[in-house]
Amino acid sequence: MEIISKSDLAGLFGQLREVFAAKRDFLIELDGKVGDSDLGLTMNKAFIAAHDSVSANVADPVGRTIQLAGMAIAKAAPSTMGTLVATGFMRGGKALEAASSIGTAQMALFWNAFLTGVIERGKAKRGDKTLIDVVAPIAEALDASAATQATLALALSNATAAATAGLEATKGMIAQHGKAACFQEKTLGLQDAGATVGLLIIDAMRAFVVGEKAQS
């Protein structure tokens, strides 16, 4: 797949829905180590709502369709993480207002806007052991791919590799935000649950573009 068109969005969000349904229990367990154990349920609800929104939207262009999916996430999952993910999709969708489809350059625009939205909403920075520690490497990798005019499949593969490294790096960090921050040193050695969501999103996008099915 060279580009993601408007007609592809329902399939893309279907992939996201399937991934977060499959990873629900894994995220519940991961979040339960230093959190509220609700992340898996929250993200499952979020992407069911996002897929429903996109599937029902036949009139709006690509960017607006994604914005409305973000609004659906905000309504279905009004938790801290749900709000951050919703903000990311709303900002990313807004950045694509002029786009008729999503190629590598547009994907870079989306993730840079996603990152800005999460930083502004969550008031965190890179190194705080949050979603940002995965989204920032994704944005950087996509910027590099856009600069070399890499294919969308290669760009998303590179971004997934960067996200994987970013998630691994969170194991050496101490949580600074949310309930996990209360555990301080006990968060060392654990991958951040929110950052894990970021990796799952970019990998679902990669898998959709290269034609892989969602993994259980």
CA 112 to chain centre: 12
180: pLDDT strictly greater than 80: no
Q: What is the pLDDT of residues 43-84, one digit of tens each?
A: 999 999 999 999 999 999 999 999 999 999 999 999 999 999
195's tokens: 């950052």
Residue 207 has pLDDT above 90, yes or no: yes
For residues 48 and 190, the model is more confident at 48
Give the pLDDT band (50/70/90) at residue 215: low
Token pair listed for 172: 């050496």
Share the mean pLDDT of the chain.
Answer: 93
- Indicate the pTM of the whole model: 0.94
Alpha helices in the chain (DSSP H): 9-22, 24-32, 39-56, 62-76, 80-95, 104-122, 132-147, 152-169, 193-210
Q: What percent of the chain has pLDDT over 90?
A: 83
Q: Which domains does the chain have, with CATH numbers?
A: 4-210 (1.25.40.340)
**Bridge pairing between strands 4-5 and 101-102:** antiparallel
DSSP code of residue 188:
T
In this predicted structure, the answer to whether residue 89 has a pLDDT above a threshold of 80 is: yes
The predicted-structure confidence for 90-133, as pLDDT tens digits, reads as follows 999 999 999 999 999 999 999 999 999 999 999 999 999 999 99
Q: How far apart are CA 151 and CA 97, in angstroms?
A: 22
pLDDT at position 169: 95
**From the CA atom positions of the chain, what is the Rg in Å?**
16
Q: What is the pLDDT of residue 81?
A: 95
Distances, alpha carbon 204 to alpha carbons 20, 34, 104, 130, 190, in Å: 9, 25, 16, 19, 22
